Amino acid sequence: MSKSKSSESVKVVVRCRPMNEKERAAKFERVVTVDVKLGQIMVRNPREASASEPPKVFTFDSVYDSNSKQIDLYDETFRPLVESVLLGFNGTIFAYGQTGTGKTYTMEGVRNDPERRGVIPNSFEHIFTHISRSQNQQYLVRASYLEIYQEEIRDLLSKDQARRLELRERPDTGVYVKDLSSFVTKSVREIEHVMNVGNQNRSVGATNMNEHSSRSHAIFVITVECSELGVDGENHIRVGKLNLVDLAGSERQTKTGAQGERLKEATKINLSLSALGNVISALVDGRSSHIPYRDSKLTRLLQDSLGGNARTVMVANIGPASYNVEETLTTLRYSNRAKNIKNKPRVNEDPKDALLREFQEEIARLKEQLQKRSVKKKKKRQRRKAGEGSDGEDGEDGETEDDDEDGEDRGDYWREQQEKLERERKAIMEDHSLVADEKARLLREKERKMEDLRKEKEAGEMLAAKVKAMESKLLVGGKNIVDHTNEQQRMLELKRQEIAEQKRREREMQQQVESRDEETLELKETYSSLQQEVDIKTKKLKKLFAKLQAVKSEIQDTQEAHIKDRQDLEQTQNELTRDLKLKHLIIENFIPLEEKNKIVNRAFLDEEDEHWKMKPITRIEDDHHMMTRPLSAVGYRRPLSHHARMAMMMKPDMRYKAENILMVDMDLPARTTKVYQEPVIAPKVAAALEDALRDEDEIQVDASGFHSSLGPTPPASASGSLKKPKSGRPRTGKKSSTPTSPFSPSSPGSPLYPQSRGLVPK
Ligand code: ADP
Ligand code: MG
């Protein structure tokens, strides 16, 4: 493992979005000022009373105003990070901020507009361009896409969207998502397709996409593996992983009045975000030795990116308008703290779980198989050729043939074989000396041989195709390295990078100049008179006083925010306590003590899943295996009689080997069925069904022919439109004309019920 000794800070940039139509229409004040040169954000207090208050100032690595272009952000801030992922570092980009401030715009942007594409599509382009320009390197790129909603992980690329995934931990590779699907992609188009599929799945489960996306975290993961021949003559593999995280909206979730499930939901939604905040605080506060990564799925999954071995960029998105000022300040404070997190980036070299290595090994194995097949054939052919020729002396030489010839040879070989069989078949057909039976048998045999030949050919082709498919997934560059436009583009990129670098340096210098200003001023100053000294010192005092005031107000703000947080937590605690009390009450009053004890004894906490589970019911309490057979004779699993023991000693008879041959322990059955889910019926079909099943009140029945065969004439009113009995289903003609007619002649004038529809001619 090559380690870079130095640690580096998490890079934090802030982006302020432009005012949107609504805000402009409502004439909201702009309270955020962005100083791109100095990397500063100034936030004015919009309240009338505090108009004289100085604005709050925050300094970041870089800041972007509403005119910032996506590509500028990429070149200055994200490109270096993606570049290091290509070198084998892990990298993470977070977008943090209130809903509607441009997190998704920054991460994804407008996909089919090259100008407004976000980091994710830009990184696709970057990665595959880098690969196409590389030389003597083999790459494997794969992508995964997951979502965390209410502390549940959903694989956005899996077929079964109802399934929830678990986090697992391994000592060598750290935390990972078990069974997360990942797709190997060979081009920008393919990886874009993967992203589109994930995005579609993301919106499928949600009734309100906007609300859902503002409450869930989406993580797109690109893994780039690169294999290169090292100086030691061995292939070395570097693996870089890029996490692109679009976090849930950071705004406070209101919990007021919520109960039960609703409360739980509200509590869980921001759990990951507040855990992220706690992790950041713990990392920055040098005193705490415990970092609460385990408090949420998000922080566990991104542990490496916060104080770990990854490079991290955090984009804080804010809105400019006055009504957002509270959230804007919260976001700025939150990200201001994150600036101080130190990571120790490290290249992942030759990790055990590199997929590229598996691919390379599998390809080598398949190729070997393929070669073995063709060698066998060649041997056969040589032997045959030799047989046809003089004596077969030169058969041996043929086997040392070159492999390259193999490919072309193979086709010839198949053709030759097929033609030969065909020729033989024809010869048999035309041979009149053979008996019909014999002829048929020979023909069958030949056909079978031809079939075998075809099968073998197919198997060979399949193997070759498999090798080809696997090889095509491994990407190599260097093909169009001399390409002129390519070269120009590269120069352009280099220049852009240089400019970005220069801008950064300029900004840093300016910041330094600013901070040193006061000190140098004092040193250089020589006072010509006492009055001047007083003036200058007064000016300085004023400046310092303003600073003091700023710090004081900052302290007050922080305290206020702290109190708010605290109240929030207290409220949550109260409501949870109330919930708990209710449950206790139910348990104490409605569940028999004996049953309760049984349940308590069976419950245990699964550390891995962090869930309470129930042990299966067994005859022995606190043992979840089946009861073992009692031992009576030492060394034997079954009691032995004296006779059996004697017989065993005398002769080795199977009969007295009192061991079970079969496993007789019973397995407790696992559930193999699913919860019934009602089928979903399309509205059209439902309407048609309803129509078909409707009560047939309106059916006109012609019963005029009745009186002749069924005695007295029914009342006239009934003969016109007859009501059918209420029934959910239409009656068939057959049913309604059942012989047990209710019109008994003895009850003249009784209501006609039920009645023939008159569909069957009398
Ligand atoms: P979030 O994901 O943080 O909830 P979105 O990315 O969905 O916010 O942004 C909300 C709206 O603001 C979108 O319509 C988006 O196009 C627009 N928007 C955000 N940032 C910018 C920007 N820098 N320039 C132009 N439009 C932006
Ligand atoms: Mg969003």
Show the tokens assigned to 227: 């294999």
Residue 208: strand, helix, or coil: coil
In this predicted structure, what is the pLDDT of residue 702?
A: 52
Lowest mean pLDDT among 316-330, 347-361, 578-592, 748-762: 748-762
Residues 527-580 have pLDDT tens digits of 677 888 888 888 889 988 988 988 888 888 889 888 988 888 898 888 889 989
Average confidence (pLDDT) over 288-306: 87
DSSP-derived secondary structure letter, 39: T
Between 5 and 46, name the one with better pLDDT. 46
Q: How far is it, in rounded angstroms, from Cα 387 to Cα 560?
A: 99
Q: Quick one: which of 11, 10, 30, 9 has its CA closest to 19?
A: 30
The pair of three-digit structure tokens given for residue 301, joined into one six-digit string: 């999954």
Residue 749: the pLDDT is: 47
C-alpha 103 to ligand 1 mean position (Å): 7
- Binning pLDDT at 50, 70 and 90, where does residue 756 land? low
- pLDDT given at position 506: 86
Cα separation, 348 vs 87, in Å, equals 9
Q: What percent of the chain has pLDDT over 90?
A: 19
Segment 621-658, tens digit of pLDDT: 555 555 555 555 566 666 677 777 787 777 776 666 65
Compute the Cα dihedral for 116, 120, 121, 127 and give only its sign: positive
**pLDDT above 50 (res 726):** no
Distance in Å, CA 45 to ligand 2 centroid: 27
> Which has the higher per-residue pLDDT, 182 or 743?
182
The pLDDT assigned to 229 comes to 83
Atom of ligand 1 nearest to the CA of 20: 12
Q: Chain centroid to CA 341: how far?
A: 27
Distance of CA 106 from the midpoint of ligand 1 (Å): 8
In the predicted structure, residue 293 carries a pLDDT above the cut 50: yes
Residue range 458-465: average pLDDT?
Answer: 85
Q: Is the pLDDT of residue 401 over 50?
A: no
What does the pLDDT read at residue 242? Answer: 94
Provide the pLDDT for residue 458. Answer: 86
**Does the N-terminal peptide bond of residue 754 adopt cis geometry, omega within 30 degrees of 0?**
yes
Residues of the chain with pLDDT > 70, as a percent, come to 73
Per-residue confidence at 710, pLDDT binned at 50, 70, 90? very low
486, amino acid identity: N
The pLDDT confidence band at residue 716, using thresholds 50, 70 and 90, is very low
Residue 56: in which H helix or E strand, if any?
A: strand 56-59
pLDDT on residue 93 = 95
Lowest mean per-residue pLDDT among 30-44, 66-80, 609-623: 609-623
Q: What is the distance in A from the centroid of ligand 1 to the CA of 585?
A: 49
Whether 175 and 300 have beta carbons less than 8 Å apart is answered as yes
Instruction: Indicate the DSSP class of residue 78.
Output: I
The per-residue pLDDT for 623 is 53
pLDDT at 698: 54
Give the Cα separation of 251 and 706 in Å (integer). Answer: 78
Q: What is the mean pLDDT of the segment spanning 125-144?
A: 89
**Site to substitute for ligand 1 among 17, 77, 250, most atoms within 8 A of C-beta:** 17
Among all bound ligands, the one having the nearest atom to the CA of 213 is 2
What pLDDT does residue 547 have?
A: 86
Q: How far apart are the first and last CA of the chain?
A: 96
Say which ligand is closest to the CA of 320.
Answer: 1
- Looking at residue 387, its pLDDT comes to 54
- For the ranges 19-33, 172-186, 717-731, the lowest mean pLDDT is seen at 717-731
Token pair for 710: 């069924």
Nearest CA owner, ligand 1 atom 20: 102
How high is the pLDDT of residue 65?
92
**Between 545 and 416, residue with greater pLDDT:** 545
- What is the pTM for the complete model shown? 0.68
Q: Reduced to 3 DSSP states, what percent helix, strand and coil does the chain have, rounded to the nearest 5?
A: 50, 15, 35
Ligand 1: residue whose CA is nearest its atom 18 = 102
Decide if 477 contacts 132 (C-beta within 8 A). yes
Q: How far is the CA of 8 from the centre of ligand 2 (A)?
A: 29
CB 487: neighbour CB atoms within 10 A?
13
Query: Residue 483: what pLDDT?
Result: 57
Q: Judging by DSSP bridges, how do beta strands 137-149 and 152-155 pair with one another? A: antiparallel
Cα distance between residue 751 and residue 696, in whole Å: 18
Contact 96, 103 (CB under 8 A): yes
Q: What is the DSSP string of 588-618?
A: HHHS-HHHHHHHHHHEEEETTTTEEEEPPP-
Q: Write down the pLDDT at residue 715.
A: 44
Residue nearest to atom 19 of ligand 1 (CA): 102
Tell me, what DSSP letter sits at residue 721?
Answer: S
Q: Between residues 400 and 207, which one has the greater pLDDT?
A: 207
* Ligand 1 atom showing the smallest separation from residue 15 Cα: 23
pLDDT at 400: 40
Model pLDDT, residue 207: 60
**Ligand 1 shell residues, CB under 6 Å:** 17-18, 97, 99-105, 214, 249, 317
Long-range contacts of 492-499 (CB under 8 A, 24+ apart): 493/75, 496/75, 497/75, 497/79, 497/80, 499/75
> Mean pLDDT of all residues in the chain?
77
Number of CB atoms found within 10 A of residue 363's CB: 18
Ligand 2 centroid to residue 246 C-alpha, Å: 7
CA distance 324 to 79: 31
Q: Where are the alpha helices (DSSP H) in 110-166?
A: 119-133
Average pLDDT over residues 747-757: 51
User: Stretch 483-509: mean pLDDT, rounded?
Assistant: 79
Report pLDDT for 167. Answer: 87
Rounded Cα distance between 444 and 610, Å, is 66
Task: For residue 353, name the pLDDT band (cuts at 50, 70, 90).
Answer: confident
CA 42 to chain centre: 38
Indicate whether 105 pLDDT > 90.
Answer: yes
Question: What pLDDT score does 729 carry?
Answer: 46
Q: Looking at the predicted structure, is the pLDDT value of residue 221 above 50?
A: yes
Looking at residue 147, what is its pLDDT?
92
Q: Strands 62-64 and 90-97: what pairing?
A: unpaired
Which ligand is closest in space to the CA of residue 110?
1
Residue 380 pLDDT: 61
Distance CA 81, CA 224 (A): 13
d(CA 416, CA 405): 16
In terms of Cα–Cα distance, which of 16, 169, 19, 157 is closest to 98? 16
Whether the pLDDT of residue 3 is over 60: the answer is no
- Do the strands 90-97 and 310-318 form a parallel or antiparallel pair, or are they unpaired? parallel
- Rounded to whole angstroms, the Cα distance separating 239 from 352 reads 10
pLDDT number for residue 490: 77
CB atoms within 10 A of CB 275: 20
Q: What is the mean pLDDT of residues 673-686?
A: 78
Q: Which ligand is nearest to the CA of 17?
A: 1
pLDDT of residue 395: 40
Compute, in angstroms, the gap from residue 248 CA to the centroid of ligand 1: 14
Residue 34 or residue 54, greater confidence: 34
From the CA of 317, give the closest atom in ligand 1.
3
Beta strands in 550-689 (DSSP E): 603-606, 611-614
Q: Name the band, by pLDDT with cuts 50, 70 and 90, for residue 46.
A: confident
pLDDT at 747: 45
E-state strands within 331-459: 342-343
